Chain A
């Protein structure tokens, strides 16, 4: 897991809007009358290496989620460079990428295939995922009937498969019960001990401090402070 690395240099992510302020893709922007453009990330630069836990803090709309999505490869870098080494797994929403009409087993298979496994491997892995969730019979029922905590358990169990090097968390932990938070913290500490990287965004500073020694303060899409978590929190909340 020592190949885990994140390098961002002058990273920028741009959002385009039409004249009605609806977000548009670049191709659609050529068809519709253009409105404003906004940079969700501006000139972001940082490096993260093995065993490093980084907390992203800042007000809503500061660019925390955008940065996590860029690291995950969900959003492209429109400017600058972003290099990510090692397998990335994500818990960027409570839904954790699950489709509600599908059962837990079907979601596990689907997300396994989308993560690059063969259908056979994803199917074989579903058993291990089921055990990891501890959801028992519920695993065979549609996710639509599950609580947020159950969905997050499946999301984390899927993230644990295939030995991730980088785990990205976006406020997911803040909506969950204490039991699951403890599970998540234990998982995060194990990953860091094994040389992985955690990047977590949120407003639950005590929990972020327990898993992240370093902090990045984001304001208006740019890094306003980078340092120890305590120093960055101080810069943010005063």
Chain B
């Protein structure tokens, strides 16, 4: 639906991540004059997982209200709603694989055996997105007037992570603090396997995985208990 129904929707789907990286690429290489090594690919390694997370949060915050007509007419397992938000965005996220491959070709970065870590990195990214989805779905339903603020806070996490600059360019001790941001781990894990050709550091997978577990432990039981009463708020 997001990309329309015509034949151009595939093109729109593929161009979406390119457009986002393009904006940041201009910012880093032209305005800030800090090109670094393969800046486009380094940025893509951050933008790709970030897009999944931020779009999942955006989708999930409105997911319950968007299904109002179904919720008020049909009894079904509403626990699936945030999961469907994450799955939808994961499908859109597929276009990002083309972006990563394109950037590798542009900068002449050859694929290595480290790419075998990709399923694990994707699984951690997906787990974090699902955790965010349950928390965001409740937040969006409970505090609809604060949705914009919530989205801004998630976007701020990008700039509190090594998104535009690599983590080795962040001075100590700030680099240690930055590692507590789950997005930092995701960004660095993608950079390790795509850009550096090395296995991701343990912290880069464990921190976002821990954050995912924490979010699910907090939000999922509340969502499951509260979902039976959603119609009272929507009706």
| Residue positions of A touching B, CB distance < 8 A | 15-16, 23-28, 31, 65, 69, 72-76, 88, 90-93, 95-99, 101-102, 111, 114-115
Contacts and interface: CB of A to CB of B under 8 A. Distances in A.
Contacts of B76: 114-115
B9 to A, nearest CB: 13
A92 B72 contact: yes
B74 A114 contact: yes
Interface stretch (B44-52, B172-180, B226-234): B226-234
B11 to A, nearest CB: 20
Contacts of A76: 228-229
Contacts, number: 76
5 interchain residue pairs of minimum CB distance? A73-B75, A97-B73, A114-B76, A76-B228, A95-B69
Contact of A69 (B72, B138, B226, B233): B72
A8 B126 CA distance: 43
Contacts of A102: 1
Nearest to B225: A27
A90 B73 contact: yes
Given A25-B226, A97-B70, A88 B75 contact: yes
Interface string B131-158: 0000000100110000000000000000
A97 B233 contact: no
A25 to B, nearest CB: 4
A97 B71 CA distance: 7
B74 A26 contact: no
A15 B231 CA distance: 10
Contact of B70 (A15, A26, A111): A111
Contact of B74 (A27, A65, A74, A101): A74
Interface residues of B, number: 23
Given A90-B73, A111-B74, 13 more contacts: A15-B232, A16-B232, A24-B233, A25-B141, A25-B229, A28-B226, A95-B73, A97-B69, A97-B73, A99-B67, A101-B1, A114-B74, A115-B74
B222 interface: yes
Contacts of A24: 142, 233
A87 B217 CA distance: 34
B229 A26 contact: yes
A73 B74 CA distance: 8
Contacts of A92: 72-73
A111 B73 CA distance: 10
Nearest to A76: B228
A154 to B, nearest CB: 12
Contacts of B228: 75-76
A98 B69 contact: yes
Contacts of B171: none
A27 B226 contact: yes
Nearest to A16: B232
Contacts of B74: 72, 74, 90, 97, 111, 114-115
A111 B76 CA distance: 10
Interface string B205-226: 0000000000000000010011
Nearest to B141: A25
Among A31, A97, A102, the one with the most B-chain Cβ atoms within 10 Å of its Cβ is: A97
B235 interface: yes
Given A69-B72, A72-B75, A28 B142 contact: yes
A92 B74 CA distance: 9
B45 to A, nearest CB: 33
Nearest to A78: B229
Nearest to A93: B73
Given A25-B142, A28-B142, A69-B235, A74 B229 contact: no
B73 A74 contact: yes
A96 B73 CA distance: 6
A65 B231 CA distance: 12
Given A76-B228, A76-B229, A93 B69 contact: yes
B142 A74 contact: no
